[in-house]
Amino acid sequence: MIPPIASRFVAGESPATALDHVRQLNDRDVKAILNLLGEHYDDRDDAAADAAEYRRLVDDIAGSDLEACISVKPSQLGLDLGEDVFRSELTDIVDAAAARDVFVWIDMEDHTTTDATLDAFENVAREHEGGVGICVQANLRRTRADVRRLADVPGKVRFVKGAYDPPADVAYTDGERVDREYRDLLEYAFEHYDGGIAVGSHDPAMIEHATALHDRYGTDFEFQLLMGVREDAQEDLAAEYEVWQYVPYGDRWKSYFYRRVTERTDNLRFALRAVLTG
């Protein structure tokens, strides 16, 4: 059972509680990206079990009237065990999802996994002519080149600042520089991409930048924000734009909750207030 303080950020432990949350979101015109919490498996059975749950989730979404898709982590699908394990589990999920018309996002993890993740994405995206999306991190020095490479690949690209702390030889470590990169990457995408842009940020300045770029270039895009973060803004944005909420669920919620709280002490204050005010 997830304690009330964590339930601001995590939609319960079971697919049923997560799908209940999706229904409430859809009622507010916000769509959902479901993520089963789990990462860095060193046991093949754990990766296979999560992959099987994602395939069942795809069936649940397809069999409902819910506006939802899924987002998977490479190390959850066995990347630490081998690229072949990850690719095999990913392919099975994407095949199942494509057959049911459910979109699959691939999260981006630490910088040592970027090549394997991009290669696997490109492979499934070309095979399915879209239906799959990848995340790129503005704090990595390589990302400008990756974003150019991805312009020709079918599918969507989620732009984030980056949740990991890569070393300075591969990453920008100064926040202002990362913000500048993020702005430039979005500008490149709005100018050169044929839609399929996901702006994965809570930052009001980046959100405003994206809407200005949309006005200038007319390119299709969507906003993506995390469950429990700036929920009022999510609803306000949904009145005018397509908004997707990233909704984690599952019994491995502790490390995810800990990450949200440590990246921003306000999150703990908000979570406590939610508990105290019911």
- Which residue, 57 or 108, is less far from ligand FAD as judged by CB? 108
Q: Is 165 assigned a catalytic role?
A: no
How many residues of this chain interact with ligand FAD, rule: CB under 6 A?
24
- Which residue, 11 or 108, is less far from ligand FAD as judged by CB? 108
Instruction: Work out whether strand 156-160 and strand 221-226 pair parallel, antiparallel, or are unpaired.
Output: unpaired
**Which 3-state string (H, E, C) describes 106-156?**
ECCCCHHHHHHHHHHHHHHHHHHCCCEEEEEECCECCHHHHHHHHCCCCCE
Instruction: Work out whether strand 104-106 and strand 243-249 pair parallel, antiparallel, or are unpaired.
Output: unpaired
Question: Is 32 one of the binding residues for ligand FAD (CB under 6 A)?
Answer: no
Q: Is 107 assigned a catalytic role?
A: yes
Window 172-201: residues binding ligand FAD (CB under 6 A)? 200-201
Q: Least distance to ligand FAD from the beta carbon of 106, Å? A: 8
- Which residue, 40 or 202, is less far from ligand FAD as judged by CB? 202
Q: Which of 50, 60, 107, 179 is catalytic?
A: 107
CA distance 183 to 194: 18
Q: Which of 87, 158, 179, 260 is catalytic?
A: 158
Residue in 123, 132, 120, 124 with CA at minimum distance from that of residue 58: 132
Positions annotated as catalytic residues are 107, 158
Instruction: By CB under 6 A, name the binding residues for ligand FAD.
Output: 107-108, 135, 137, 160-164, 200-204, 206, 224-226, 229-230, 246, 264, 266-267
